[in-house]
Amino acid sequence: MNSRERMMAAIDRKAVDRIPSDLWCTAEVLRTLEEHFDVEGQETVYDCLGVDGMGYFGTRYVGKDRSLPDGTEAGIWGTRFEEQVLPTGGTYIEQTHCPLKDVADIRELDDFNWEDPADYDFEEAAETCKDFSTRRATISGYQAPFYDLCMLFGQETALMNLALRPELVEAVLDRAAKYRLEEHRLLFEATKGYLDITQVTDDFGSQANLVMSAGTIRSIFWPHYRNAIKLAKSYGLRVFHHDDGAMSELIPDLIEMGVDVLNPIQWKCPGMDLERLKREFGKQICFHGSVENQEIIPFGTTDAVRAEVRKNLRILGSDGTGFVIGPCHNIQSGTPLENILAMYDEIQKVTGA
């Protein structure tokens, strides 16, 4: 099997020659790996580590200039972000302006600029997808209703509005979802025959529980999930769902709606016991990630990292499929290089890559 065949078979819970692997990391970590191997490009790093990986790509915005009067580039719907520097030297992007933060009246939404979902270079995306598809499982698209809600209102205001102004929340989600569905329809149409996977995703889990009640999630967000998943399935795509933290209460719902891949499997959180997850859901969904990345990869010894790899392969890979091993979220700047190398070296040793 090549990497694409292996990845897709594992996602479909079919027989594979070995458990596939993936790499999620920050740009700084990728540069560290490039320097270590004296290579350029993520795919070349994949090859050096023996990673199957996926061909991740986005779409380039080509619409009207979003620049503000001071020259600052705004994002979708007028959002704004600034780069922040971490003590490790890494960076992350922090949102500094949420365009609907002060909106309390549904009527104000009619004057808001919801933009044109056709304002992306879908032809360029199609060429990238076609190129990737000769080597990797391809993945693109990101429909995340709760993320969009937080981006528009800000997380605190979004959560308050869910409790105090549910009609406003639903009106915003209806408009945002209309945009996202058309944007993704255009993407799926352009990449038809080459795109394999798309994300319908959100972060509903915290370190201890869900960030809101399951009832709220089901009533407010699941209708939009069903529409997004229905669109993806109409193009024959597998659906990838990223959801951090203690979110196991939602797994049966996700399976019922048609989610194929669950990431990142933070097994230290309540309800995320690996043996239970594999036993109860392993025949219905593919697990992705799971190598512990809050303590073990960044702060553990290389022996601890290797033991963590073996444990995950033994449990989530117990039936030989339905698992893609990798870090449970992006490997962060400041992580010891030797731990990253140990993780992928152990994966190769155990799986026979």
Q: Please provide the DSSP assignment of 177-243 as one string.
A: HHHHHHHHHHHHHHTTTT--EEEE----B-SSSBSS-HHHIIIIIHHHHHHHHHHHHHTT-EEEEE-
pLDDT digits (tens, 9 = 90+) for 252-291: 999 999 999 999 999 999 999 999 999 999 999 999 999 9
Q: What is the pLDDT of residue 198?
A: 98
pLDDT digits (tens, 9 = 90+) for 134-149: 999 999 999 999 999 9
Q: What's the rounded Cα separation, in Å, for the pair 346 and 332? A: 20
41 lies in some domain: yes
What is the share, in percent, of the chain residues with pLDDT greater than 90? 95
pLDDT digits (tens, 9 = 90+) for 20-66: 999 999 999 999 999 999 999 999 999 999 999 999 999 999 999 99
What is the share, in percent, of the chain residues with pLDDT greater than 70? 100
252 lies in some domain: no
100 lies in some domain: no
Q: What is the pLDDT of residue 284?
A: 98
Q: What's the rounded Cα separation, in Å, for the pair 169 and 159? A: 10
Q: What is the pTM of this model?
A: 0.96
pLDDT digits (tens, 9 = 90+) for 281-319: 999 999 999 999 999 999 999 999 999 999 999 999 999
278 lies in some domain: yes
Q: What's the rounded Cα separation, in Å, for the pair 309 and 77? A: 41
48 lies in some domain: yes
pLDDT digits (tens, 9 = 90+) for 202-234: 999 999 999 999 999 999 999 999 999 999 999
36 lies in some domain: yes
- What is 64-119 written as a DSSP string? S--B-TTSPBP-GGG-EEEEEE-TTS-EEEEEEE-TTTT---GGGGGGS----TT-
| Strand 238-242 with 261-263, pairing | parallel
**How many domains are contained in the chain?**
1
Q: What's the rounded Cα separation, in Å, for the pair 16 and 320? A: 7
pLDDT digits (tens, 9 = 90+) for 185-194: 999 999 999 9
Q: What is the pLDDT of residue 261?
A: 98
Region 85-93: what's the mean pLDDT? 89
Region 316-337: what's the mean pLDDT? 97
How far CA 244 is from CA of 18, 249, 300, 347, in Å, comes to 26, 13, 21, 23
Region 107-136: what's the mean pLDDT? 97
Residue 280: which domain range? 1-56+264-353
302 lies in some domain: yes
Collect all residues with Cβ–Cβ distance below 8 Å to 12 and sequence separation of at least 6.
238, 260, 286
210 lies in some domain: no
- Does residue 88 register a pLDDT over 90? no
